Chains A and B, each alone.
Chain A
Amino acid sequence: MFSTSTLHRLAMRAYPQAFRVRLGDDLQDTFLRRVSAARSRGVIHGVAAVSAGILDTCVSGLAERAADRRVRLRHGAQQSPSRRSLPMTWESLVSDVRLALRHIRKSPAFAAMTIATLAVGIGANSAIFSAVYAALLKPLPYAGADRLVALWSDQTKLADPSYPMSPANYDAFKRETTTLSQVGAMYSFLVNAQVARDDSAETIQVSTVSPGMFSLLGRQAMLGRGLQEGDEHNAVLSYSYWQRRFDGDRSIVGKPLPVVGAPPVTIVGVMPADFTFPYRSMLGPSGFSRAQTADAWRLLSPRTDTRMVDATGQPNRTIHYFSVIGRLKDGVSIAQATEELKSLADRRAKAFPASNEGYGVTVRPLLDQTVGKIRPALMLLTTGVGVLLLLTCINIANVLMARASGRQRDQAVRAALGASRGRLLQQSLIESVILAALGGAAAVGVVALGTSALLAIAPPDLPRVPEARLSWAVSFFIVGLSLVVGLLTGILPAISAARTKPEDSLRDSQRSSASAKQRLVRSVLIVTEVTLATFLVIGAGLLLRSFAAVLNVNPGFAVDKVLTFQISIPARYGTLDAALNFYDELRSKLSALPGVTHVGGSTRIPLGSTQVSTQLTVEGRPLRPTELPEVQMRRAVHDFFGTMRIPIVEGRVFNDSDRALGLTERIAVVNAALATQVFPNESAVGKRVQMGPNPTPDGWIRIIGVVGNVKHSSLEETPKPEIYVSHLQGPPVNPFMAIRTTGDAAALIGGVRSVLKEVNLTPPSNIHTMEDLRRESVGERRFVLWLVGAFGVVALLLAGIGVYGVISLVAAERTSEVGVRLALGASPGQVWKMLVGQAVTLGAIGVSLGAVGAFVLTPLAASMLFGVSPADPITFVGVSLLLIVIAVLAAALPARRAMKVDPATALRS
């Protein structure tokens, strides 16, 4: 415990320092005497005297402080010499700000460089923060968004916890849950719709949602109303589509939306501009389109979607195509909801083992569902740009320290004239905070530029990132960061300034060299810089190696010289023969385009469209529906395998003569993954299969060949089992066509458009070269690599500048020492070795620390790596050598200068 005496001494801190210096001891003495006199009269008296005395000291002390300030304000600088100049008073702040501004004005070049560097550092951080804020921190654009959850089937057989839900499960959860206040469903994919425009048509993306969806999300239409029961033939438009297509016509409600080949649709509402729903990442993996947002919403209803109920009129248990969203009741946690829904799912699995076994439930916050996948990338970018800012701070602190030692005499004079340590500290900190504040102000411009640059290079499929803006949150971030940076860069120089002793002003400071302590601080800064740079560049190196590994992946087909586009076959080709004749006409016209060698197509294009899976029944293997293999199904048009150069592994692929088979003998081609998974140890060719769980006697499909695997969803995936059926036995209405040419694929775009016009088709959608598709498929990786790579390069530069600066200082300080050495017969080479050796030693320590740090931390970013170990020796050794080389190069220049010192001059100076 504190003694009475200590407590009173503490209380005396309330008095101004000058007062304490003069009368403190006496006051303490009187207080103690009073207390001991009181104690002699009894314990109660003693305690009363102690507490009253201490309280009195506090109150009088504060009163004295206030009076002291009034006196000083009145008399300005006329202070008694015994009263030292103290920090944290208004006058001292004002005068220090003035002094700092004077310093800044006196060296405009230094100030401009520092402010510019800080602006870039703070600006880059804030730009990344604006993306992080938009994606991860800002609430989703729905009311009470933190109570919203995404519900999925936890498909244990496929190890897929985010499997779309069947209408029956959705229905059961909605009816029976007690932990969710509302539950809504939508198709787990967007649907293409053709809307007539002038004399042609455009493709829009439609999300199909259950009647209560908008009220579940807590959002209302901006014009008109949302969708409700009975709105089967109505639609609600998104703000952007309303602007794009109808120029924001406010009388649009009640007018028709001219959907091609469908019953008339009436527009009943327009949603607000900030309403985005669903984000692509809220949907499942299936569907044709990779579009990010919906242009319009239609109603999910068993009246227009017959698949929602089965033959007995009950909600369908076997087709899984719903994305489900729920709202937690107040006071219910995710864990409670998960527990409840899991037990519901278990009960259903026992009640309907044929359809529900292996289907659990996953409950996930809707925000996680939306941006969970890009969180690691954004955290990586935040780390990278943060490390960069630290490096910037260290470099600036270094320069400020060098300047501070140049001002040592100045500081000593101030100390001798009565500036307290705190006052010197304050003055130095104020200068760095002002620099940082100016840097922060300039950073606002950098953020605006940086954010638009970021969005320009960001792949469009990053959810929510395109919503990044210079918002209030970002502005607060800039202000806060500037303050932190100001203190961070200022603290070391400030401490060294505050250490100045008054007597230093009397010494001849011309010859002053850094104290051992300052030298140590500088060494620590250099080591820290090299450590951070090594860490960052190793990260960038691993990402680069991953990117190279991804690009080296063989997608299973030839990417070059192929153009793909999606077409829509009009309803007028309704019969099999009409459709096949049309496909033949299309092929002959496309083949006639210059340079075209192959024409093909498929309902799914690798790297360019989504997947749709189905269950496969194998002849002679009666299995329960839940035990059937899940395979990806697509239709092949014409010479798809030839066009894509997908190799034939066994048997044959489709050809024109198969048209003679009609629909009597159905045939299919499977990929190698399906062949090995479903038919291990035997040949798949000749086996008969059917799609779906309920085989019919004449529905068997004979496998005629096996082709190579292709990477469909991404270059990084493990190929899934796939089955192709021929367009000759079921022509698709919305296929992706692919044409191979001998020349530049992009050059064919004009020709394709005119061919489609000739055959009276609407213009193609999703027109891309295969090379573009591959580039887009690695877009996120390229984006992250670009940024982290750029951070890495800047980090190398900053570390180099840091080493250069410090070795220059050391060389300058040791000039006379070098002169003595040279005079005593040391060779210039030895001097060079000494200085460069110092840089290499510091560099090596930094490199080792950085490498160890990277070794410990890179496994955290393992999800960002591909085809390379987090401890990749090539990267670690390469980067370490690179950093050492940079340290040598940065030290070589000042060392060369020192080597050429004339001993006589050095000794005289």
Chain B
Amino acid sequence: MPYKPSDALLPLTPVAFEILLALAEENLHGYAILQAVESRLEGLLPLRTGTLYRSLARLLEADLIDEIPGGDPADERRRRYRITPHGRKVAAQEAARLEGQVTAARARRLLPARKSRP
């Protein structure tokens, strides 16, 4: 795989970013990623299986995630994915990029001023 600087991959697609978010928390198999994303977004972004897997393929190709060798001990057909260090870096860069955008939006009063979480 030819080397690509991490910022060349930005911006990530929302689905790719969600996958990285889910895998940043723990290693998951495909269906679990689906469940994690859906529960975090509470139905705001209905994730289709096909979209998920096309995204997974891109992330695998770009070396942002990889498969855990040996797979799932419970079911060898299932593969488990983990985020690579490179993926973690790219996800952080994407988060920073988004944060910059959000800050800019606040400055223009598109969002209310930051409140502390309840």
Residues in chain A within 8 A of chain B (CB atoms): 19, 22-23, 25-27, 29-31, 33-34, 52-53, 56-57, 59-61, 63-64, 67, 80
- Interchain residue pairs with CB less than 8 A apart (23): A23-B53, A25-B79, A26-B29, A26-B53, A26-B77, A27-B30, A27-B53, A29-B31, A29-B77, A33-B31, A34-B31, A53-B49, A56-B48, A56-B49, A59-B50, A60-B49, A60-B51, A60-B53, A61-B50, A63-B54, A64-B54, A67-B54, A80-B61
Given contacts A22-B57, A26-B79, A29-B78, 10 further A-B contacts (CB under 8 A): A19-B57, A23-B56, A27-B30, A30-B34, A31-B49, A60-B49, A60-B50, A60-B53, A60-B54, A63-B50
Bits for B77-117, please: 1 = Cβ < 8 Å to A, else 0: 11100000000000000000000000000000000000000
Q: Which residues of A contact B36 (CB under 8 A)?
A: none
Q: Which residues of A contact B48 (CB under 8 A)?
A: 52, 56, 60
Contact of A30 among B30, B57, B60, B61 (CB under 8 A): B30
Are A64 and B57 in contact (CB-based, < 8 A)? yes
| Closest beta carbon of chain B to A528's beta carbon, Å | 48
Q: Which residues of B contact A52 (CB under 8 A)?
A: 48
Are A57 and B50 in contact (CB-based, < 8 A)? yes
| Closest beta carbon of chain A to B66's beta carbon, Å | 12
Q: Which residues of B contact A33 (CB under 8 A)?
A: 31
Are A30 and B49 in contact (CB-based, < 8 A)? yes
Cα A80 to Cα B58 with chains together (Å): 13
Cα A120 to Cα B98 with chains together (Å): 73
Q: Which residues of B contact A25 (CB under 8 A)?
A: 77, 79
| Closest beta carbon of chain A to B76's beta carbon, Å | 10
Are A57 and B49 in contact (CB-based, < 8 A)? yes
Q: Is the interface of A mostly helix, strand, loop or mixed?
A: helix
| Closest beta carbon of chain B to A816's beta carbon, Å | 49
Cα A22 to Cα B53 with chains together (Å): 11
Bits for B40-59, please: 1 = Cβ < 8 Å to A, else 0: 00000000111111101100
Cα A59 to Cα B51 with chains together (Å): 10
Smallest CB-CB separation from A57: which chain B residue? B50
| Closest beta carbon of chain B to A55's beta carbon, Å | 9
| Closest beta carbon of chain A to B31's beta carbon, Å | 4
Interface centre among B34, B49, B56, B75 (most CB of A within 10 A): B49
Q: Which residues of A contact B77 (CB under 8 A)?
A: 25-26, 29
Cα A23 to Cα B50 with chains together (Å): 11
Are A26 and B49 in contact (CB-based, < 8 A)? no
| Closest beta carbon of chain B to A646's beta carbon, Å | 94
Cα A26 to Cα B60 with chains together (Å): 14
| Closest beta carbon of chain A to B75's beta carbon, Å | 8
Cα A59 to Cα B53 with chains together (Å): 12
| Closest beta carbon of chain A to B43's beta carbon, Å | 14
Residues in chain B within 8 A of chain A (CB atoms): 29-31, 34, 48-54, 56-57, 60-61, 75, 77-79
Given contacts A33-B31, A60-B54, contact A27 B49 (CB under 8 A): yes
| Closest beta carbon of chain A to B55's beta carbon, Å | 10
| Closest beta carbon of chain B to A30's beta carbon, Å | 4
Cα A61 to Cα B60 with chains together (Å): 17
Cα A27 to Cα B50 with chains together (Å): 8
Q: Which residues of A contact B78 (CB under 8 A)?
A: 26, 29
| Closest beta carbon of chain B to A396's beta carbon, Å | 45
| Closest beta carbon of chain A to B47's beta carbon, Å | 10
Cα A236 to Cα B31 with chains together (Å): 89
Q: Which residues of B contact A61 (CB under 8 A)?
A: 50
Q: Which residues of A contact B49 (CB under 8 A)?
A: 27, 30-31, 34, 53, 56-57, 60
Interface centre among B30, B56, B60 (most CB of A within 10 A): B30
Query: Which 5 pairs of residues, A with B, have the shortest CB-CB distance?
Result: A60-B50, A30-B30, A33-B31, A56-B50, A30-B31
Q: Which residues of A contact B29 (CB under 8 A)?
A: 26, 29
Smallest CB-CB separation from A62: which chain B residue? B50
Given contacts A19-B57, A64-B57, contact A26 B30 (CB under 8 A): yes
| Closest beta carbon of chain A to B67's beta carbon, Å | 9
Q: Which residues of B contact A57 (CB under 8 A)?
A: 49-50
Smallest CB-CB separation from A28: which chain B residue? B77
Smallest CB-CB separation from A49: which chain B residue? B49
| Closest beta carbon of chain A to B106's beta carbon, Å | 36
Cα A31 to Cα B53 with chains together (Å): 11
Cα A80 to Cα B56 with chains together (Å): 16
Are B54 and A30 in contact (CB-based, < 8 A)? no
Cα A723 to Cα B49 with chains together (Å): 97
Smallest CB-CB separation from B53: which chain A residue? A27
Cα A52 to Cα B49 with chains together (Å): 10
Smallest CB-CB separation from B1: which chain A residue? A80
Are B34 and A34 in contact (CB-based, < 8 A)? yes
Interface centre among A19, A27, A52 (most CB of B within 10 A): A27
Are B34 and A23 in contact (CB-based, < 8 A)? no
Smallest CB-CB separation from B81: which chain A residue? A26
Smallest CB-CB separation from B51: which chain A residue? A60
| Closest beta carbon of chain B to A51's beta carbon, Å | 13
Cα A479 to Cα B60 with chains together (Å): 48
Cα A60 to Cα B53 with chains together (Å): 9
Q: Which residues of A contact B61 (CB under 8 A)?
A: 80
Cα A328 to Cα B30 with chains together (Å): 72
Cα A625 to Cα B49 with chains together (Å): 93
| Closest beta carbon of chain A to B83's beta carbon, Å | 17
Q: Which residues of B contact A23 (CB under 8 A)?
A: 53, 56-57
Q: Which residues of A contact B53 (CB under 8 A)?
A: 23, 26-27, 30, 60
Cα A663 to Cα B79 with chains together (Å): 119
Cα A61 to Cα B61 with chains together (Å): 17
Q: Which residues of B contact A29 (CB under 8 A)?
A: 29-31, 75, 77-78
Smallest CB-CB separation from B34: which chain A residue? A30
Smallest CB-CB separation from B33: which chain A residue? A30
| Closest beta carbon of chain A to B34's beta carbon, Å | 6
Q: Which residues of A contact B60 (CB under 8 A)?
A: 22
Q: Which residues of B contact A63 (CB under 8 A)?
A: 50, 54
Q: Which residues of A contact B50 (CB under 8 A)?
A: 56-57, 59-61, 63
| Closest beta carbon of chain B to A8's beta carbon, Å | 10
Smallest CB-CB separation from A78: which chain B residue? B2
Smallest CB-CB separation from B60: which chain A residue? A22
Smallest CB-CB separation from B61: which chain A residue? A80
Cα A419 to Cα B118 with chains together (Å): 61
Q: Which residues of A contact B57 (CB under 8 A)?
A: 19, 22-23, 64
Q: Which residues of B contact A53 (CB under 8 A)?
A: 49
| Closest beta carbon of chain B to A34's beta carbon, Å | 6
Cα A342 to Cα B63 with chains together (Å): 87
